[in-house]
Structure 1
Amino acid sequence: MGAAKHVRLLCSYSRSFSGELKYEFETRKMKIILFTHPSFLGHKSMPRFAQMITAGMKQKGHDLTVWSPKAFFFRLSFKKPILEKWFGYMDQYVIFPLQVKLRLLNCSKETLFVFSDNALGPWVPLVKKRYHVVHCHDFLAQKSAFGLLQENKTGVTGKYYQKFIFSGYRTARNFISISKKTQVDLHALLDKNPEVSRVVYNGMNQNFEPAKDYHIVREELSDQYKIDLSEGYILHVGGNAFYKNKLGVLEIYDQLVKDFKVEIPLVLAGESPTKEMIAFKEQSPASQSIFFINNIDDLQLKQLYQGASVMLFPSLYEGFGWPIVEAMASGSLVITTNEDPMKEVAADAGFYIPKKPTDSEKLLDWKMITAKELERVIHFSPKERRDAVCKSILRSKEFSAQGFVDSIEAIYQEILQDK
């Protein structure tokens, strides 16, 4: 089918992506401008998300162009963090808006402007009177800046920066959220209801699948990292942001070893540990069984998922929770927090623990409860494990890249046809 030909498209908002009814639209080739984060910021997940939109829309025959700030002042920062930060702001919020205004002079009125992240809010007012839509991932930074999250405090400059972002995306009329929880947070922040607000769950943009033989994977990982992982291991994947609750992972494992004498190691994959995490490890009786692995590539991440006995993901907050789906697709069981969006994503394939309390007096009870659940899942019988793994893999298939692309295409068409 030619890219420029009009086609009949069934715009399906499937239950797994937006939970809405099905509509049919007569669709045509769209002209899309996609705003993305600048490459010089070094983000990982956001470029993948933007690439999924780019590849999907182009594959469907739509005309998509990416607009993103280039490093002009940033290149003059001499790799000094403070200069990189402020020179980067100049490239993003002084130079780039001027470029956008010039480019808009040659843009068709039928162009759809797509923002790949709500953090790109400062650019939204540039096209607020044109067709547009903002993809929303999470509002943790804004909620922290507005004093809505007890666990995280924001500095003075951070508060101004987040208000700057918020003042931009609040002018938008159309939004697509990656979870119902993100949509709820969005509506709570806005002072009026959007014209369009949909939920489309993320689709996996990498090929995660179970290993043909996880024993072989464990042997390869043991050789690579010089750690005995042959009997399995508990895996955590995530950065050091407060909401990832990485210290909580250490606390659960420490309690697990104290209460149940479990001997399989804990592997934390992601950013290098903080001083606080290192100190906790050194003081733990399980110190010799705790391993931090950083700077892993995509293949290593896939193998770590495949070989894990269980993936422990006790996040306090998420916009979506990529590791949950990635682990399930890889044949690993997932223990996560009993709150949305973690429950949204894992559904009946996940195993749940309470959210870590802010009250220190309740912390010991939390550690004991979570350690007990972790011990239970680790010691599943072969049949219990097979059944749980099958359920996990089946659930992960609800988050396909194709389903994501089909759903957002339908919403893009809906916005353009709303004249």
Structure 2
Amino acid sequence: MKIVLFTHPSFLGHQSMPRYANMLLNGMKERGHEVVVWTPKARFYKIPSIPSFKKWLGYIDQYFVFPLEVKLKLRNSSKDTLFVFADQALGPWVPLVKNRKHVVHCHDFLALKSALGMVPENPASFTGKLYQSYIQRGFSSGKNFISISKKTRHDLHKLHLGEIANSAVCYNGLSRPFFSLPRQSSRDLLETKLNIFLSQGYIMHIGGNQYYKNRQGVLEIYETWRSVYNTKIPLILIGEKPTEELNLLYKKSPYKEDIHFVTNLSDEHVNNAYSGAICLLFPSLDEGFGWPIIEAMASGCPVITTNKAPMNEVGGMAAFYIDKKPTNAEHWQQWKEDGAKTIEKVLKLNRFQHTETIERSFNQSQKFTAEYSLNAIEIIYKEINQVV
């Protein structure tokens, strides 16, 4: 099977999407398929300019120059070629091949839902609304879709403006391996690496500063747990540097000496961080999938996350759940106390209960291997490619 894979340009500096695209690229090549990547090159983007203007130069490369290149390449593409879009955010390019065999991978529609006023926690700017409308019109010309969760597929059917011919769910597979490493040695290694006292354990969060990651909620639950249960265990937040708002909350915290923001941690050390943690605290407001849930489970780390799809799709019966943070401030205190109780519940697991939790978590993580995901995706590709 001949596959053309459309991907985000490397100059955007994305992290998760290139990993997903590489998983598709390498996975389909390993299965004997001929795969080439079509992606915009930095032409206007590399022109020296101020950062705010650079984004618009990137748009010229993506939405003016690249489509012209694609139209030229299509002249030499055989009719049996399958055109694959690694992300529905590449929607503006979908109309270029809407009458050819194609499939669009869908991850999350959080930005589009924000632009449509469906996410009160994240209002969009005027230009943001225009951009998301442009993307929506683009992917709506597509007919065949693969979503990474039932939640994502539900959103797709709600937001697609046309008719959908095929719509499948193929859960994400881990794009890199995670293992359950020895707990104490993982803590010792991380303690040496970060120069933080971690040998007695720590609570962990991993993620960026996107509103839906709810890093502020992580600090609020942690502070409530510390104040109610009077237990001195540090909190490690792995990911981007904190925003000004988050940094202000941190500085006001009476437990700031035990709160640590960690950036630029290698994949190997992230695996150690999961394995050494008492739990992963992951109270996201929303996700497309929720990679950290499976990464933690595969690493032998109990998971506390939000009882909302897709987090509970991914966590299954293995995770510990709390409600989504309410939008009404009057209910925040109860939410924080419930989160604190759940941390304490995990902390108080006896040896048998802890072992049982880890076993359930590992078994759950095996449903989301790269092999399983790629096999399911390949089946869909073949079905679409066989349609006359």
TM bin, normalised by shorter chain, reads: over 0.9
1: CA distance, partners of 2:162 / 2:11: 35
Equivalent-residue separation in structure 1 for 2:193 and 2:384 (angstroms) = 50
Q: Please tell me whether the aligned partners of residues 187 and 193 of structure 1 are also in contact (alpha carbons under 8 angstroms).
A: no
Q: If the length of structure 2 is used for normalisation, what is the TM-score?
A: 0.99
- Structure 2 residue aligned with 1:221: 190
CA distance in 2: counterparts of 1:126 and 1:94, whole angstroms: 12
Within 5 Å, give how 1:95-114 maps onto structure 2: 95-114=65-84
Contact 1:77 1:87 in 2 (8 A): no
Q: Supply the distance in 1 between the matched residues of 2:160 and 2:89 (Cα, whole angstroms).
A: 15
- 232-241 or 300-309, which deviates more: 300-309
How far apart, CA to CA, are the structure 1 residues paired with 2:185 and 2:328? 43
Correspondent of 1:201 among 171, 182, 190? 171
Partner of 1:51 in structure 2?
22
What SS does structure 1 have at the residue aligned with 2:367?
coil
Task: Please say if residues 235 and 312 of structure 1, whose CA atoms lie closer than 8 Å, have aligned partners that are also in contact.
Answer: yes
Give 1:42's aligned residue. 13
Confirm or deny that 1:132 pairs with 2:97: no
| SS of alignment partner, residue 43 of structure 1 | coil
Q: Given that residues 141 and 162 in structure 2 are in contact (C-alpha distance below 8 angstroms), is that contact kept between their aligned partners in structure 1? A: no
1:210 is aligned, of 180, 183, 186, to: 180
Unmatched runs of 5 consecutive residues or more in structure 1: 1-29
Q: In the alignment, what sits opposite 2:273?
A: 304
SS in 2 for 1:76: coil
Which position in structure 1 is the counterpart of 2:367? 398
Q: 2:111 aligns with which of 105, 121, 141?
A: 141
CA contact (8 A) 2:45 2:61 kept: yes
Task: Tell me, yes or no, if the aligned pair for 2:202 and 2:278 is still in contact at 8 Å.
Answer: yes
Give 3-state SS (helix, strand or coil) of 1:336's partner.
strand
Unaligned runs of 5+ in 2: none
SS at match of 1:403: helix
What code does the residue aligned with 1:345 have?
Answer: V
| Residue-by-residue CA offset, 1:325-382 (whole Å, 9 max, x unaligned) | 0000000000000000000001000000010000000111111111111111112111
How many positions carry a matched residue from both structures?
388
- The correspondence for 1:407, drawn from 351, 376, 387, is 376
* 1:69 lines up with 2:59 in the alignment: no
Q: CA deviation at 1:193?
A: 4.3
Tell me the secondary structure at the aligned position of residue 121 of structure 2.
coil
- Structure 1 distance, partners of 2:68, 2:163, is 30
Question: Which secondary structure state, in structure 2, belongs to the residue aligned with residue 311 of structure 1?
Answer: strand
Deviations 1:250-274 (A, max 9, x none): 0000100111112110000000011
**Pairing of 1:267-306 with structure 2 (within 5 A):** 267-306=236-275
Report the TM-score when normalising by structure 1.
Answer: 0.91
Post-superposition CA distance 1:242-291 (Å, at most 9, x none):
00000000000010011111211000000001111111112112111100
1:383 maps to which residue?
Answer: 352
2:236 partner amino acid = V
Match of 2:305 among 313, 336, 350: 336
Distance (Å, rounded) in 1 between the aligned partners of 2:252 and 2:357: 35
* Residue among 160, 171, 174 paired with 2:130: 160
SS of residue paired to 1:135: strand
Amino acid at match of 1:251: E
Offset of 1:45 from its aligned partner? Answer: 0.6
Aligned match of 2:322 = 353
Question: Per the alignment, in what secondary structure is the counterpart of residue 235 of structure 1?
Answer: strand
The Cα of 1:190 is off from its aligned counterpart by: 1.7
Q: Pick which of 215-224 and 248-257 moved more.
A: 215-224
Alignment of 1:86-97 (within 5 A): 86-97=56-67
CA RMSD for the aligned pairs?
A: 0.8
- Secondary structure of 1:201's match? coil
Match of 2:120 in 1: 150
CA distance in 2: counterparts of 1:262 and 1:371, whole angstroms: 11
Q: Is the Cα–Cα contact under 8 Å of residues 33 and 65 in structure 1 kept in the other structure? A: yes
Alpha-carbon distance between aligned partners in 1 of 2:274 and 2:185, rounded to the nearest angstrom: 13
1:88-130 residue CA offsets vs partner (Å, 9 max, x unmatched): 0000000000000000000001110000000000000000000
Distance 1:72 1:235 in 2: 41
The alignment status of 1:82 with 2:24, answered yes or no, reads no
Structure 2 partner of 1:21? none
Whether the 8 Å contact between 1:177 and 1:199 is mirrored in structure 2 is: yes
Question: Counterpart amino acid of 2:78?
Answer: S
